Amino acid sequence: MLGVLLDRETLDRQDLDFGALTATLPRWEMHAQTRPEELGPRLAEATVAVSNKVVLDAAALAAAPALRLICVAATGTNNIDLEAARARGIEVCNVRAYATPSVVQHVFALILGLTRRLGEHRQAVAAGAWAASPHFTLLDYPMRELGGLTLGIVGHGELGRAVARTAECFGMRVRIAARAGAGDTRPGRVPLQTLLREVDVLSLHCPLTGQTRGLIGADELALMKPDALLINTARGGIVDEAALAEALGAGRLGGAGIDVLEEEPPQHGSPLLVRELPKLIVTPHVAWASREARQRLLDGVAANVRAWLAGTPSNRVTD
């Protein structure tokens, strides 16, 4: 049996241990990346395919007669044609909860970076403002403590729950948004329009679906307090980037920490990147990507291959 890893460079910077994965099958081919025209030849004899972001559509699966298992090196499976895989009897497995500590820490790095005004303080020191101060300190950028602030969470799954637990350790009050468009009446859930008015920090952890695309737009941002923060480590399309850029530029929002954009990489630009915006931190979709999380992800892929070989597939998404 042959295993093929299609896009190693999206996971590995020569800092991961592949031993658990390579031990699962007699043969493995590891490709740094795979262009569409390379996909057919690379899958022609493959029994197992591992993909992080390479798209495996119906045509690709039809050209892979030996393929029996697809391991998604991620949680999201939107790059796999699940219906075509099911029709061809190909198992599809993902990896779950591998990045929770990494994402939670990134969320709070963004929150703390904004509330402690780290960017402004760093720039002030570099510009010589501290050296020129008549005082031992520089109080030009007022800061906030998290205790007593209200954190609103959209998407109360694995990541949302972990962020909520951490927020409570900081003394924050946590409010959970009702699920979009689902008539969510569960106790403790708050309609989004109500939540937006209450929160000091809004953190997004929902998947990108037809119902959540553009969930946070101009109307929603207008409901938020002028000193509130928006944190998005979920998916870029959930937030209207032009509306967010306008709100930040006009001073109608306290700040934003953004790890995801609608186009990644942003080869055609983004309203959040075309000009310097106040109180904005943008990171390049790395909330998930601590070395430890990437190793857990790789080990999770290996565990899925072993489970499939044993006849007890785990983390199946084609049931």
Going by C-alpha positions, the residue among 87, 80, 18, 86 that lies closest to residue 43 is: 80
Nearest to 2 by CA among 35, 70, 64, 49: 49
pLDDT at 185 over 80: no
Say which of 88, 213, 252, 285 is annotated catalytic. 285
**pTM of the predicted structure, to 2 decimals:** 0.93
Q: How many CB atoms lie within 10 A of CB 273?
A: 15
Q: Which of 117, 235, 294, 296 is catalytic?
A: 235
Question: Which pLDDT belongs to residue 230?
Answer: 98
User: Can you say how many angstroms the Cα of residue 172 is from the centroid of all Cα atoms in its chain?
Assistant: 23
Average pLDDT over residues 243-263: 97
Model pLDDT, residue 318: 75
Is 285 annotated as catalytic? yes
Mean pLDDT confidence for 246-269: 96
Going from the C-alpha of 166 to that of each of 101, 243, 278, the distances in angstroms are 10, 29, 27
- Sheet containing strand 48-51, strands side by side: 27-30, 2-5, 48-51, 69-72, 91-93
Q: What is the mean pLDDT of residues 291-310?
A: 98
Strands of the chain, DSSP E: 2-5, 27-30, 48-51, 69-72, 91-93, 150-154, 173-177, 189-190, 201-204, 229-232, 255-258, 280-282
pLDDT at res. 180? 72
For residues 132 and 125, give the distance between their C-alpha atoms in angstroms, rounded to a whole number: 10
Amino acid (one-letter) located at 122: R
State residue 55's pLDDT score: 97
* H runs (alpha helix) in 170-290: 192-198, 218-223, 241-249
Q: Which residue has the tokens 């969470």?
A: 153
| Mean of pLDDT values over 199-224 | 96
Give burial (CB, 10 Å; 0-12/13-18/19+) of 89: exposed
Whether 235 is catalytic is: yes
User: 3.90.550.10, 3.40.50.720, 3.90.1170.50, 2.130.10.10: which CATH number matches 100-282?
Assistant: 3.40.50.720
- Where along the chain do its domains lie? 2-98+291-309, 100-282
187: confidence class by pLDDT, cuts 50, 70, 90: confident
CB atoms within 10 A of CB 267: 7
**Fold category of 2-98+291-309 in CATH:** Rossmann fold (3.40.50)
Catalytic position from the list 145, 168, 264, 292:
264
Say which range, 25-29, 76-80, 216-220, 245-249, has the weakest mean pLDDT. 76-80
Read off the pLDDT of residues 122-174 as tens digits, 9 standing for 90 and up.
999 999 999 999 999 999 999 999 999 999 999 999 999 999 999 999 999 99
% of residues, the chain, pLDDT over 90: 93
Tell me whether residue 275 is one of the annotated catalytic residues: no
**What is the rounded average pLDDT for all residues in the chain?**
96
> Are 2-98+291-309 and 100-282 the same fold in CATH?
yes
Asked whether the CA dihedral 288, 293, 295, 297 is positive or negative, the reply is: negative
Residue 179's nearest CA partner among 158, 159, 198, 205 is 205
